[in-house]
Amino acid sequence: MNLTLFLSLLLVHFIGDFYLQTDKLCEQKEQKRIYSWFLYSHALLIGLLSWLIVGESMFWGYALIITITHLIIDAIKSYCKSCFAAFVIDQLLHIAIIGAVAILYTGPSCCWFNVFSDYASPFALPLLLAILICLKPTNIFIKLLLDKYKIGIQPECVEIKNAGALIGNLERILTLVFVLVGHWEAIGFIIAAKSLLRFKDSDTAKTEYVLAGTFLSFGIAVVVGIIIKYCL
């Protein structure tokens, strides 16, 4: 497998699937399904960006495959109930397609990050990908997983969800950095600092929500950091 190609296409996928989609556009896609204009424009954008990031005209056929499969997967998902399982299966299918393309494509590939690495650190691509994964995609993953197990659905948890997402982003980025530089003891310091947070004895729902979210947040950041370190 061409690892740089795989990571580049994966970067395009996460940017297009998470950072170039608003909640309103996602709702429109889920409500109108195959009649949604955004369903088609979104898949087309993913394919176009994939082609552009590879930087080779002969990659157009593979970009078309990414476009069509992305459209089919998203169309099927729009008919499924929005839940944790649907989210995970959807993402695994997209990543599997990208992996297959990275294996099957044997043509030339300038991949802009190959060019960029001549002037900057070759670690730029995996590091940027890791940061993007640890932000919005992980927030959505944790939210859906907590909803699956009915954690944090109580009214008293609503007021801390936005703050929880922001704090989660910060702690995951710090954890990712500490894993990459090999300072595992610093992760323990962050966990200890967060343990200073206290709720009233009656706020069991908040405690469970924060505790579950914290374990998931740190766990995902550590796993992503280990995978990226392996890629490096």
Distance, CA of 196 to CA of 214 (rounded, Å): 13
Domain count, the chain: 2
Please identify which residue in the block is written with the tokens 């954008």: 45
Task: Please tell me the pTM assigned to this model.
Answer: 0.85
| DSSP 8-state code for residue 18 | I
| 140 in the same domain as 101 | no
7 lies in a domain? yes
79 lies in a domain? yes
In tens digits, what is the pLDDT along the chain, a chain of 232 residues? 778 889 889 999 999 999 998 888 888 888 898 898 999 999 999 999 999 888 788 889 999 999 999 999 999 998 988 889 999 999 999 999 999 999 999 876 655 555 554 545 567 788 889 999 999 999 999 989 888 877 755 555 555 666 667 888 888 998 998 898 888 878 877 777 766 665 554 566 666 777 788 888 889 999 999 988 877 6
- 223: Cα separation from own chain's centroid: 13
| 215 in the same domain as 168 | yes
Range of the domain at 214: 136-231
